[in-house]
């Protein structure tokens, strides 16, 4: 088994079906089905039932409740047998994609730990911003991490982090890092993982030659909950990766800006 594709489902079944069909199309075109498996971690109370039968191996994990993105991904990774893990949001579809390009990149450069893909946002009809970049800092928050805009690069570049929407990582590297920090319910868990990867001497690569379409945020209709979860994760991220003074400045600034 070469690639384990891990999808976390929450209120996304309609998009999940499209995602699986896009994977099927890619596999039919240029990749052997026996080389991949798909692991669907269902974070809903109701059991997941797929309408279509796919020829590749699909494993399902039923959590019966929403355990959060990071924890669900970790559960999926525990069941994975592939040499490489591909974490992919269910509200995506593969576009210009070739798994062989990813595998070759890993095999030719052992210093690469994570490969993030180009993400096209459906609503924007263009590249989705803030999907890779430098480590989030106080100044980058103020400028909305828009300096240089690395997600617009047409060639591969090394970055501090890539989006959890769509990225590849060696399974043994993910195990070495002990997976996602489950204290992040959603948001910032991807950046935290990438920063921990950097600390063990591995690189994050933004790889625009592999792209996905993202319907973006269709799992969550409750914007108030999303905002609350975002700032809770942001606070924890600053506590974990910065000094206490940085954290206090962040809190003060958010209050000043009425966030």
pLDDT in tens, 4-43: 999 999 988 889 999 999 998 888 776 777 789 999 999 9
Q: Tell me the CATH number at 96.
A: 3.90.550.10
Which of 22-26, 115-119, 171-175, 239-243 is predicted with the least confidence, judged by mean pLDDT?
A: 239-243
Over residues 109-167, the pLDDT tens digits come to: 999 999 999 999 988 889 999 999 988 765 555 555 556 789 999 999 999 999 999 99
- Average pLDDT on 239-245 reads 75
- Strand segments, DSSP code E, in the chain are 3-9, 36-42, 57-62, 84-88, 92-94, 112-121, 126-127, 132-133, 157-159, 161-162, 166-170, 203-214
**How many residues are present in the chain?**
259
Contact 155, 75 (CB under 8 A): no
Domain count, the chain: 1
In the chain, % of residues over pLDDT 70: 86
In this prediction the pTM is: 0.91
| Other Cβ atoms closer than 10 A to 4 | 23
Mean pLDDT of the chain: 88
CA distances from 191 to 61, 128, 170 (A): 25, 16, 17
Per the DSSP assignment, residues forming a β-bridge with 178 are none
Residues 6+ apart with CB under 8 A from 207: 101, 102, 105, 115, 116, 117, 118, 156
- The boundaries of the domain holding residue 203 are 3-256
Span between the terminal Cα atoms of the chain, in Å: 46
Give the three-state DSSP class for 72.
helix
């Amino acid at each position: 088994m070469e690639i384990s594709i891990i999808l976390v489902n929450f209120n996304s079944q309609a998009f999940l079906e499209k995602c699986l069909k896009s994977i099927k199309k890619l596999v039919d075109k240029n990749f052997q089905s026996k080389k991949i498996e798909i692991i669907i971690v269902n974070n809903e109370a109701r059991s997941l039932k797929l309408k279509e039968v796919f020829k590749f191996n699909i494993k399902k994990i039923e959590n019966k409740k929403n355990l959060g993105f990071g924890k669900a991904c970790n559960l999926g990774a525990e069941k994975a047998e592939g040499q490489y893990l591909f974490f992919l949001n269910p509200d995506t579809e593969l576009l210009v994609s070739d798994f062989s390009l990813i595998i070759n990149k890993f095999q030719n450069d052992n210093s690469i730990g994570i490969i993030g893909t180009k993400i096209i946002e459906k609503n924007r009809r263009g590249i989705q911003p803030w999907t890779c970049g430098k480590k989030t800092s106080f100044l980058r928050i103020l400028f909305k991490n828009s300096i240089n805009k690395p997600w617009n690069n047409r060639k591969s570049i090394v970055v501090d982090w890539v989006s959890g929407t769509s990225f590849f990582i060696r399974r043994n590297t993910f195990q070495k890092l002990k997976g996602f920090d489950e204290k992040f319910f959603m948001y910032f868990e991807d950046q935290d993982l990438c920063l921990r990867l950097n600390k063990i001497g591995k690189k994050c690569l933004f790889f625009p030659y592999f792209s996905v379409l993202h319907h973006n945020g269709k799992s969550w209709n409750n914007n108030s909950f999303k905002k609350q979860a975002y700032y809770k994760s942001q606070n924890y991220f600053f506590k974990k990766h910065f000094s206490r003074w940085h954290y206090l400045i962040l809190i003060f600034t958010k209050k000043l800006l009425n966030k």
